[in-house]
């Protein structure tokens, strides 16, 4: 007790001599950090031992199938679905966001209802629904409404697992992107639209060249998270027999019954992709925030040169 009292006493030095120097201070020990550190080390060792000693992980099987051609095909399909879903979703989402902010009320309501429906229906339910579209519409036709048909096809020829997956994922993604892009558009100062209108820019010119580029600062960060969510969401298409990563390992374990090792193969690939995407996202975000600070730096440079001049 007396020891503690001595060590916690504040140092008083009215004459301010130079015998005390912060550069030579000792390290302070934080007892709770020690406790938490030991606990974390213990848990880490436990997990490592579990992973290594539990025979049922069958690590040799994981290694054997990690680069199996059909697994890599599935991986490629998951990536393709993510890219296509993201592109179609962003394009449709931009149109929906603009529509939700339109002056013409019926268009606005239509877009709000569309976004509400596709944001509200679980993507898994949507995928199964699109896959079974033929039950509702046996034939799909292009023609004059309530008039003659020009072309028509059996629905089952058009709705394959691939098209059902692309439609389902894109519509789901579009609804989410619409909300993100709408928030971005609303973040742009209304004076920007006033200035564009005052100069007689067309609505399209004003939206694509003035409003959207400035909305990007707000749109980009949540879009990164959305890409990652969509990549994981592609695993849902395995239920309609679409050959994605999860489906490709399922096909193998249905034959070999090595369920856990095959799932580990899928987990490894998902983690690799998500980690890579996270790194890209960090970099993109840093790029955008650097845009801000670079302007600040440049302003300082300008002020300094002006002061010199």
Partner 1 sequence: MTGENATMTPVLQVVGVRKEYGDNVALDGVDFEVHAQEVVAVLGPSGSGKSTLVRCIDQLESIEGGAMYLDGELLGYERHRDGIRPLADADVKRQQRRMGMVFQQFNLFPHWTVLRNITEAPIKVHGVPAAEAQARAMELLARVGLADKAQAHPRQLSGGQQQRVAIARAVATNPRILLFDEPTSSLDPELVDEVLQVMKDLAEAGMTMIVVTHELDFARHVADRCVFMAEGQVIEDRPSTEFFDAPRSSRLRTFLTRTATPAREGGA
CA–CA distance, 88 with 178 (Å, rounded to integer): 12
* Closer CB to partner 1, 108 or 203, in the complex: 203
Number of Cβ within a 10 Å radius of residue 1: 5
> Least distance to partner 1 from the beta carbon of 29, Å?
48
**Dihedral pair phi/psi, residue 27, rounded to 5°:** -75, 140
Long-range contacts of 208-211 (CB under 8 A, 24+ apart): 211/185
> Quick check: 288 binds partner 1 (CB under 8 A)?
no
* Closer CB to partner 1, 35 or 302, in the complex: 302
Among 214, 235, 278, 281, binds partner 1 (CB under 8 A): 214
The tokens describing 143, both together, are 């023609």
> Quick check: 289 binds partner 1 (CB under 8 A)?
no
> Quick check: 149 binds partner 1 (CB under 8 A)?
no
DSSP state of 14: T
Among 208, 213, 272, 276, binds partner 1 (CB under 8 A): 213
Question: Which one of the spans 37-45, 198-206, 247-255, 270-278 is the region binding partner 1 (CB under 8 A)?
Answer: 198-206
* Closer CB to partner 1, 44 or 202, in the complex: 202
Question: Which one of the spans 75-83, 86-94, 125-133, 188-196 is the region binding partner 1 (CB under 8 A)?
Answer: 188-196
CA–CA distance, 300 with 307 (Å, rounded to integer): 10
> Quick check: 287 binds partner 1 (CB under 8 A)?
no
CA 111, chain centre distance (Å) = 23
CA–CA distance, 211 with 28 (Å, rounded to integer): 53
> Quick check: 107 binds partner 1 (CB under 8 A)?
no
> Quick check: 186 binds partner 1 (CB under 8 A)?
no
Among 91, 199, 267, 268, binds partner 1 (CB under 8 A): 199
> Quick check: 203 binds partner 1 (CB under 8 A)?
yes
Count of residues that bind partner 1 according to CB under 8 A? 21
Among 30, 139, 205, 290, binds partner 1 (CB under 8 A): 205
- Closest by CA to 92, choosing from 209, 159, 175, is 175
Number of Cβ within a 10 Å radius of residue 131: 22
Query: CA 304 → CA 49, 271, 291, 307, distances in Å?
Result: 61, 48, 20, 5
Number of Cβ within a 10 Å radius of residue 148: 7
> Quick check: 63 binds partner 1 (CB under 8 A)?
no
**Dihedral pair phi/psi, residue 46, rounded to 5°:** -55, -50
Question: Which one of the spans 105-113, 118-126, 173-181, 194-202 is the region binding partner 1 (CB under 8 A)?
Answer: 194-202
DSSP state of 24: G
Question: Which one of the spans 126-134, 253-261, 262-270, 293-301 is the region binding partner 1 (CB under 8 A)?
Answer: 293-301
**Interface residues with partner 1 (CB under 8 A)?**
189, 191-192, 194-195, 197-203, 205, 209-210, 213-214, 295, 298-299, 302
């Amino acid at each position: 007790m007396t020891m503690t009292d001595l060590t916690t006493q504040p140092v008083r030095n009215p004459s301010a001599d130079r015998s005390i120097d912060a550069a030579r201070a000792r390290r302070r020990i934080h007892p709770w950090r020690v406790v938490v550190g030991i606990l974390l080390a213990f848990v880490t060792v436990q997990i490592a031992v579990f992973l290594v000693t539990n025979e049922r992980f069958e690590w040799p099987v994981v290694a054997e199938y990690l680069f199996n051609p059909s697994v890599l095909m599935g991986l490629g399909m998951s990536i393709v679905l993510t890219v296509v879903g993201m592109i179609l979703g962003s394009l449709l989402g931009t149109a929906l966001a603009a529509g939700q902010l339109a002056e013409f009320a019926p268009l606005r309501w239509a877009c709000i209802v569309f976004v509400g429906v596709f944001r509200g229906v679980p993507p898994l339910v949507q995928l199964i629904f699109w896959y079974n579209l033929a039950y509702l519409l046996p034939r799909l036709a292009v023609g004059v409404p309530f008039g003659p048909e020009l072309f028509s096809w059996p629905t089952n020829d058009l709705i394959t697992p691939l098209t059902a997956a692309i439609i389902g994922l894109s519509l789901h993604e579009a609804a989410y992107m619409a909300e993100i892009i709408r928030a971005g558009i609303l973040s742009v100062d209304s004076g920007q639209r006033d200035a564009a209108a005052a100069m007689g820019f067309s609505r399209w010119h004003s939206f694509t060249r003035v409003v959207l580029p400035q909305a990007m600062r707000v749109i980009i960060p949540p879009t990164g998270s959305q890409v990652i969510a969509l990549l994981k969401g592609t695993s849902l298409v395995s239920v309609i027999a679409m050959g994605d990563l999860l489906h490709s390992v399922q096909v193998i374990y249905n034959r070999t019954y090595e369920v856990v090792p095959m799932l580990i193969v899928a987990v490894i690939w998902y983690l690799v992709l998500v980690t890579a995407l996270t790194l890209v996202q960090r970099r993109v975000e840093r790029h955008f925030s650097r845009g801000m600070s670079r302007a600040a730096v440049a302003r300082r440079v300008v002020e300094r040169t002006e002061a010199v001049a």
